[in-house]
Structure 1
Amino acid sequence: MKRQPLFLSLFLLTGAVALSGCSSDETTAANGDEVIIVGTQNDYPPFAFANDNNELTGYDVDVVKAIDEKLDGYTFEFTAVPWDSMFLSLESNKIQAVADQIAKTPEREEKYLFTDESYFAAETVIAVKEGREDIQTIEDLEGKKVGALAGDSYTLLLEEYNETADTPIELTYSESGTPAEVLQDVQNERVDAYVNDPIMMNKVLEKNELGVEIVGQSLVNDQMGIVLKHGEKGEELKALIDPILKQLKQDGTLAELSRKWTGGEYIPE
């Protein structure tokens, strides 16, 4: 086990990703470890966000820190990456891993390498303006304006639904790329609803005192995994990370972190 703590580097980015540009093969930590740069968002509480000291923190960050403590020969550094640049950064090797509540989907697993072990089980729900009663199910969203972030699993769910819907959902893609902005659009009635994770949305609603509420039952449950790039390095990291994630699940570490950040245990079996 490493004795050196995880070093967190936070680059708050706007627009294009301004990372160091160095691959893990070119970067070595002070203790001689190979550096793996992990991309995550800085505005997705309680999973990945910047605290008052501009340090990245949250459940996903703590999970990777726990992995780092048990993984010899590597040091994980974090950098904040906007959602719309996340996978491009991975493909171009500006980052070597993603820990950002990325749901495993067949389409993504064709393009990217996921850990076999999932570290969080997430729900998908609908949020509407408080007092609204005409939306409870995904069918109720037909013909309505729904806020969306391009490329996330919640948007993909709605895009797939539209392929067979009698009346398609009108997806309104956010230019800001942040859930907080979309939830503000719901409150201000620029859109009728938003579909995302209830834990994150409740944190954002509480912080911003928005008049938005979650309605209906969960639409789907997703398994979240750490994402790597296909290739020799990705396979090497996956083979090292999977046993550690399994151990963290079995010894209760993931459950403890889940309770710390979400108030409940949302750990896949």
Structure 2
Amino acid sequence: MATMTTRHFMYTAGALLVGLTLAACGKQEPAASGASAPSAATPPAKVYVVGTDAAYAPFESQNEKGELVGFDIDVVKAVAKKAGFEVKFINTPWEGIFNSVAQGDRDLLVSSITITPERQQTMDFSAPYFDAQQLIAVKKDSSISKFTDLKALKVGVQNGTTGDEVITKLQGKDSANVKRYESTPLALKELEGGGVDAVVADNGVVINYVNNNPDAKFKTVSDTSFAPEHYGIVVKKGNTALLEKINTGLAGIKADGSYEQIYAKYFGTVPKAAAGAASAPAPAASN
């Protein structure tokens, strides 16, 4: 009887030991599975804050929902997707837009910004993505036919833009006839009301306004003295890592046809072969 009890005890102890071993093994599986999960996770894409002055249709403006839309917005979205990063757009007044990137409040800027030697001293530009030129807007009955006709007239411009620069050079820095406004549409509204005799601004913006405001009865005047300009995407001086990402994405959307599709959406035509292809800006300076 004692022998049977011992056997029973040994059998029971052995079964218990096996059960505990299996239970211990069972508890290790979730830990092993959980340990490997972080290494398989994909890190979130970097989000860059983009500053833009949304008062420059068709390049950047706000729709009825308050969303930022336009050619520049679509280009940067496409560039970001191609280069593997994300963007968040913030409407930023033109007067402080360059300081916002210099101080680190914005990572990059896209706002119809002309590449100029002066600006290149304090900020870095991407490869050009749009070719522009200054254009004169006047009323249909105006006798103005060339840029020099504006010498003694009241001319509206957006403050701090290339239009401001060229008119200031023509009339002199102390001229009271240079009327500066916060946006080009405001300057054009002043022309409509008779407050100025002409407005000088980027061709894309002027043409868009004239086409969409037929009741204003404007016409445009071009002049061969206006030098070609190139828009670029701005980053803080020395931010070569971000600049490389932007240029990679920009080259990518030009190669796969995305850029042409965006251009045609806003301007109805395919860009000329030279559009955005220049590696260096013209000496003259837009927005």
Shorter-chain TM band: 0.7 to 0.9
Distance 1:77 1:43 in 2: 18
Matched AA of 1:89: S
TM-fit CA distance, 1:214: 0.8
Alignment of 1:212 with 2:222, yes or no, is: no
Q: Is the 8 A contact 1:143 1:169 kept in 2?
A: no
> Any idea what SS the aligned residue of 1:228 has?
strand
Q: Distance in 2 between matches of 1:246 and 1:142?
A: 41
- Distance in structure 1 (CA, Å) of the matches to 2:270 and 2:229: 15
Whole-Å separation in 1 of the counterparts to 2:75 and 2:150? 35
Quote the Cα distance in structure 2 between the aligned partners of 1:190 and 1:222. Answer: 28
Paired position in structure 2 for 1:24: none
Counterpart residue type for residue 95 of structure 1: R
The reply to whether residue 230 of structure 1 matches residue 237 of structure 2 is: yes
Q: CA deviation at 1:162?
A: 4.2
Q: Is the deviation greater in 118-127 or in 205-214?
A: 205-214
5+ residue gaps, structure 2, are: 1-41, 278-287
Match of 1:245 in 2: 250
Give me the whole-angstrom Cα distance separating, in 2, the residues matched to 1:31 and 1:186: 52
CA displacement at 1:204 relative to structure 2: 2.4
Q: Which runs of 5+ in 1 are unaligned?
A: 1-29
Q: Report deviation, 1:227.
A: 0.6
Contact 1:51 1:57 in 2 (8 A): yes
Question: Structure 1 segments of 4 or more deviating over 6 A?
Answer: none
Given candidates 75, 78, 82, the residue that maps to 2:86 is 75
- Which range is displaced more, 245-254 or 209-218? 209-218
Q: Which residue of 2 aligns with 1:138?
A: 147
Distance 1:186 1:225 in 2: 29
Aligned-residue CA RMSD (Å): 2.2
* CA spacing shift, 1:103–1:251, aligned 2, 3 Å: same
Match of 1:121 in 2: 131
Higher strand share: 1
Q: Which amino acid aligns with 1:47?
A: F
Q: Return the letter of the residue paired with 2:121.
A: E
CA distance in 1, matches of 2:121, 2:113: 14
Query: Cα deviation per residue 1:41-67 (whole Å; 9 max; x = unaligned)?
Result: 222111111112211111100001101
In 1: Cα distance, 2:43 partner to 2:168 partner: 47
Among 129, 150, 162, the residue aligned to 1:153:
162
Query: What corresponds to 2:113 in structure 1?
Result: 102
TM-score normalised by L of structure 1: 0.79
Whichever residue aligns with residue 189 of structure 2, its letter is Q
The CA deviation at 1:252 is 2.2
- The structure with the larger Rg is 2
| Match in the other structure for 1:7 | none
**TM-score of the superposition, structure 2-length normalised?**
0.74
Name the SS of the counterpart of 2:229 in structure 1: strand
SS at match of 1:223: strand
Higher helix share: 2
Report the CA distance between 1:200 and its aligned residue: 1.5
Q: Secondary structure at the match of 1:173?
A: strand
**Hey, what's the Cα distance between the residues in 2 that align with 1:262 and 1:141?**
28
| Cα displacement (A) at 1:173 | 1.2
8 Å CA contact 2:157, 2:199 repeated in 1: yes
* Equivalent position SS for 1:147: strand
| Count of residues in Structure 1 that have an aligned counterpart in Structure 2 | 231
Confirm or deny: 8 A CA contact 1:149 1:155 kept in the other structure: yes
Secondary structure at the counterpart of residue 44 of structure 1: coil
Does the CA-based 8 Å contact 1:144-1:169 persist in structure 2?
A: no
Question: Aligned equivalents of 2:132 and 2:47: distance in 1?
Answer: 29
Give, as a single letter, the amino acid of the residue that structure 2 aligns with 1:77. Answer: K
Could you tell me how far apart the structure 1 residues matched to 2:222 and 2:97 are?
A: 31
Q: Deviations over 1:207-243 (max 9, x none)?
A: 4432222123352321110011113xx2111112112
- 1:43 equivalent in alignment to 2:55: yes
Code of the residue aligned with 1:53 in structure 2: it is K
Alignment-derived partner of residue 193 in structure 1? 198
Question: What is the rounded CA distance, in whole Å, between the counterparts of 1:108 and 1:216 in structure 2?
Answer: 25
Q: Secondary structure at the match of 2:270?
A: coil
Q: What residue identity is the alignment partner of 2:139?
A: K
Distance 1:251 1:154 in 2: 34
Q: Which residue of 2 is the match for residue 3 of structure 1?
A: none
